[in-house]
Amino acid sequence: MATVEKGRTTQRDNGPPPERGPRGEIAREGSDSYALVAAVSVLLGVLVAVLGLFSIFMWSDAHDAKNAAKRAAAKVAAAPALNGQISMATGLESYAGAAPANADALAAAHSAFPASLSPAPAGPIADANLVLKDVTIQIAPGVKYSAWAWAGGAPGPVIHVRQGQLVKITLTNEGAIPHSVDFHAARVAPNVAFADVMPGKSVSYTFRANDAGVFMYHCGTKPVLMHIANGMYGAIVVDPKPGTLPRADKQYVLVASEWYLSSDGLKAPAQFSMEKAHARIPDWMTFNGYAGQYVKHPLTAEPGDLVRFWVVDAGPSIDTDFHIVGTVLDTAYPFADMNPADALHDVQTVTVPAGGGGVFDVKIDKPGLYPFVSHSFAAVDQGQVGLLNVGNVHGTMSH
Ligand SMILES: [Cu+2]
């Protein structure tokens, strides 16, 4: 900006002095001014004609687009419904809801990811050993997926530490390609700590867990979208200093994520679809990696218990609108800011952003089945739903 202004100044200073200003020319030379007006009129006429033609083209385009949309809609309507699959207007086939005949039995036999928060280790140092592995996992009953994940599948193990502890991460890469691990709870130089680890190698780094909350960890190797979507994510809970939070009777960790499939995964394992991931059109959405696992195997609490949910949204791209049907969140720590002065009270739904966390306390007095969901409801249809069984009641949800 400064250069431009300087340039203009220089031009004014160095150029020949103007003999006449533009207005002066028109005022003194009348015949020229008539010629100018005539020329302007002709130009305006041409402009009107061009605009007219342009609007005809625009109408024609709109007409064509409308016809194309009608044709596309007819095509979608005519597409056969295959096992819950739908053809999308994007041209990407959805495998949402694909299920084998014995899906119910498979869901019952599935051993749910342990959502209960284990105690944090005592002492000044917390060790966390992570093993990356290429594994075939199930992400819904009978739906197999070729994951880049962890020795135990996806998500990775929940790491639980105390605020102020030194966390020692040891990462072993048993996969076929380089990977890494990025801890959102760490304040470290990422080019050093989160560097790629070659296959067959291990790496260690430490960070001081000074920030309390629940944080995502994930592989940060490019393309990050693919490494996260393939299952390379997990949660670390950093307990605030004792006395900061009321004592919880039950604590559960939920990691929300979405899955983008190249096939239905029923016969052969599905692979990652970059097209769907870029379009943000997942086939499945889950808590702790498997669609609806806590509907078949509900989390539990007694009436009056203080139940604390530590929620991470691993994404890779879609937020979670955390809500518990049949109650109100007594205390919410949005973005996992654990300062009680920043907490919200008696709210219905709180967004947990992709790559972020949230902590939610509820106390439910009446026995019953309370679904926890992302209230962005397409997510529920795609598997992001579970149940909290309060008071060991029997029965199932009717909706
Ligand atoms: Cu990776």
* Widest pairwise Cα distance in the chain: 99
Strands (E), 269-363: 284-287, 299-301, 306-315, 320-324, 329-333, 344-347, 349-352, 356-363
Of 64-73, 177-186, 234-243, the range with the lowest mean pLDDT is 64-73
CA 214 to ligand 1 center in whole angstroms: 21
CA 287 to ligand 1 center in whole angstroms: 20
CA 386 to ligand 1 center in whole angstroms: 28
pLDDT above 90 (res 76): no
CA 248 to ligand 1 center in whole angstroms: 34
User: Which residues lie near ion ligand 1 (Cβ < 5 Å)?
Assistant: 179, 219, 221, 227, 232
Burial of 259 (0-12, 13-18, 19+ CB in 10 A): buried
Per-residue exposure over 337-357, b if at least 16 CB sit within 10 Å of its own CB, e if not: bbeeeebeeeeebbbbebbbb
CA 186 to ligand 1 center in whole angstroms: 18
Q: Report how far residue 224's alpha carbon sits from residue 218's, in angstroms, rounded to the nearest whole number.
A: 9
- Six-digit token string for 333: 């720590």
Q: What is the per-residue pLDDT across 148-173, written as a single tens digit (0 to 9) for each?
A: 999 999 999 999 999 999 999 999 99
CA 179 to ligand 1 center in whole angstroms: 4
Q: Report how far residue 254's alpha carbon sits from residue 174's, in angstroms, rounded to the nearest whole number.
A: 26
Burial of 195 (0-12, 13-18, 19+ CB in 10 A): middle
Which residues, in sequence order, are bridge partners of residue 258?
A: 285
**What is the pLDDT, as a whole number, of residue 395?**
76
Give the strand pairing for 86-87 and 93-94: antiparallel
CA 362 to ligand 1 center in whole angstroms: 35
For the residues 6-13, what does the mean pLDDT come to? 34
CA 192 to ligand 1 center in whole angstroms: 16
CA 32 to ligand 1 center in whole angstroms: 74
Which residues, in sequence order, are bridge partners of residue 132?
A: 150, 173
CA 180 to ligand 1 center in whole angstroms: 6
Indicate the pLDDT class of residue 81, thresholds 50, 70 and 90: very low
pLDDT above 90 (res 339): yes
Indicate the pLDDT class of residue 91, thresholds 50, 70 and 90: confident
Q: What is the per-residue pLDDT across 36-64, written as a single tens digit (0 to 9) for each?
A: 444 444 444 444 444 344 343 444 444 44
Whether the full predicted model's pTM is greater than 0.85, yes or no, is no
What backbone phi and psi angles, to 5 degrees, belong to 2? Answer: -60, -40
Which residues, in sequence order, are bridge partners of residue 127?
A: 168
Mean pLDDT, the chain, integer? 84
Q: Report how far residue 71's alpha carbon sits from residue 32's, in angstroms, rounded to the nearest whole number.
A: 58
> Residue holding tokens 């072993």?
172
Burial of 309 (0-12, 13-18, 19+ CB in 10 A): buried
CA 136 to ligand 1 center in whole angstroms: 15
Rg from Cα positions in the chain? 30
CA 133 to ligand 1 center in whole angstroms: 9
